[in-house]
Homo-oligomer: A and B are copies of this chain.
Amino acid sequence: MLHPQLAKDSVFIRDLPLCQLRLINDQNYPWFLLVPRIDKARDIIDLDWPSQRQLWHESAWLSHWMRQEFQPQKLNVAALGNMVPQLHLHHIARFEKDVAWPAPVWGKFPAIAYTQQQVSQILDRWSDFPYTPE
C-alpha cells in the first residue's frame, strides 16, 4: 500500500522483484524512488537481510541506468523519510548546473511537473534496460 504523499509526488514506472520504481514528478532533477513492497517498513533495517540485499541490488541497477542515461556529476542515494514514514530510497542525478547544487535537493525548490509527453519519453527509455538478478 503506497503512502498517499508518495503517490501524489511520483509516477509509477515498473515493478522490480522487491520494489516499486517511481519517477518523482519534478523536472528540476532526474529523481527516482525505490519503494519496497513490504508493509510497515520505515527504516532499511526493518527489512530482513535478504531483502536489504535485494534492495541494494535494485539500487545499484537503477544507479547504473541513471549514470548511463544522464551522466551525472554525482548520484545522491538516500533513505530519509522524516516526512513520509513508508520506507523509500531516493536516487537523484546531480549536476553542477542544477538549481540546488551543491545543496541536497529536499525542500529547496518547488517541483516543476513533467508534461505527459516527457513522462512517456522517460518511461520509454527503460525498455532497453532489463533487470538482471544478483
Q: How far is the CB of A58 from chain B (nearest CB, A)?
A: 12
A73-95 to B contact mask, C-beta < 8 Å, 1/0: 11111111111010000000010
**Pairwise interchain contact B82-A103, C-beta atoms closer than 8 A:** yes
Contact A76–B79 (Cβ < 8 Å): yes
B106 touches A83 (CB 8 A): no
Complex contact A78–B76 (CB within 8 A): yes
User: How far apart are the CA atoms of A85 and B63 in the complex, in Å?
Assistant: 17
Binds B, one of A1-9, A14-22, A37-45: A37-45
Instruction: Please determine whether A77 and B107 come into contact, CB atoms closer than 8 angstroms.
Output: no
A132 CB to closest chain B CB (Å) equals: 11
A-B contact pairs, 11 of them (CB 8 A): A42-B74, A43-B63, A43-B67, A49-B60, A53-B56, A56-B56, A73-B82, A74-B82, A76-B80, A76-B82, A104-B106
